[in-house]
Amino acid sequence: MRVFVTGASGHLGSAVVPNLLSAGHDVVGLARSDTSAATIEKLGAEVRRGDLSDLDVLREEAAASDGVIHLAFRHDLMVNGDLAGAAQTDLAALTALADALADSGKPLVGTGGTAMLVLGGIVGRPGTEGDTFPGGGYRIDAENFVAGLASRGVRSSVIRLAPTVHSSLDRLGFIPTIVASARQHGYAAYVGEGTNRWPAVHTLDAAELYRLALEKAPAGTRLHGAADEGVPFRQIAETIGRNLAIPVRSISPDEANGYFGFLGTFAQLDNPTSSAVTRELLGWTPAHPNLIADLDAGHYFQA
């Protein structure tokens, strides 16, 4: 396949692109800067200049491709608290991609997050691929849009990624942010008893899942990118504290925003997530280190 990938130079894209190339696919990556273009070229893919606001570029490349993987997201808006703006930009980009793929039978793989399961009201049990919501929440509208493209002749699927996509490629994600907070404050923190659970997935396992979804996910499929079903946040904090040789402390919910910044709410989510359906449907078998083992590998704590 000729595959168009948005976000090709990012953390996840830098693993997805090599995975696609090694499987014999040709890749065109969207690049918004000279730095991004150089990264994509180094990975071995073709470059198309533009960003998520260049809707004509998105339409043109989607129409010229055999499939699309949409990874790009306005994380800069999210970090600054404008979740709505980031979500609106994402939905507009997806609409442009969909317009080009309608009635083609070609695959479009979108990206969501498992955190939406909690925000949608799933509590007290692991979220499953069958859990859906009518809309209105963070990235829920985009997910529903992608799944609904099955009725427009697109072999669409959406991967709900764990909040922790971890590996040595992860420089700006949630774990580096939490490690930076621990360094800044001189102690690693969890909220309350720290029993809330985060799912996690290694970057390379997530990259494999995107390729499998592109190649064979049925239209309208929701998939879960979660290898660890749920790691207690206290265990994450204790592992960070051990590796930084600093104390580990419980903080109150009122202190969470001051300590974690924009992650204050996320750090309190209890988000256990099952990927049993995804594994059986696509034959996905995560094979890389789990979150705690990856933290203990030490790369997150190098100066």
Between 91 and 2, whose confidence is greater?
Answer: 2
86-115: average pLDDT? 94
Model confidence over 10-67: pLDDT tens digits?
999 999 999 999 999 999 999 999 999 999 999 999 999 999 999 999 999 999 999 9
Q: Which residues pair with 160 in a beta bridge?
A: 112, 224
Which residues, 6 or more positions from 23, have their beta carbon under 8 angstroms from its beta carbon? Answer: 211, 215
**pLDDT tens profile 112-123:** 999 999 988 899
Give the pTM: 0.95
Which amino acid is located at 253 in the chain?
Answer: P
Q: Given pLDDT bands bounded at 50, 70 and 90, which one contains residue 255?
A: very high
Q: What is the average per-residue pLDDT within 230-245?
A: 98
- The model's confidence at residue 80, banded by pLDDT at 50, 70 and 90, is low
Q: What is the pLDDT of residue 79?
A: 58
When pLDDT is averaged across residues 84-91 and rounded to a whole number, the result is 78
pLDDT of residue 137: 66
**Structure confidence at residue 139 (pLDDT):** 78
Neighbour count for residue 80 (Cβ, 10 Å): 12
Summarize the confidence of residues 145-164 as an average pLDDT.
97
How far, in Å, CA of 94 to CA of 91, rounded?
5
The dihedral sign for the CA sequence 171, 157, 114, 257: positive
Token code pair at residue 135: 């809309």
- Residue 79 CA to residue 145 CA, distance in Å, equals 24
> Would you state the pLDDT for residue 258?
97
In angstroms, the CA 237 to CA 250 distance is 9
Share of the chain above pLDDT 90, in %: 88
Alpha-carbon span 281 to 95, nearest angstrom: 27
pLDDT for res 160 = 98
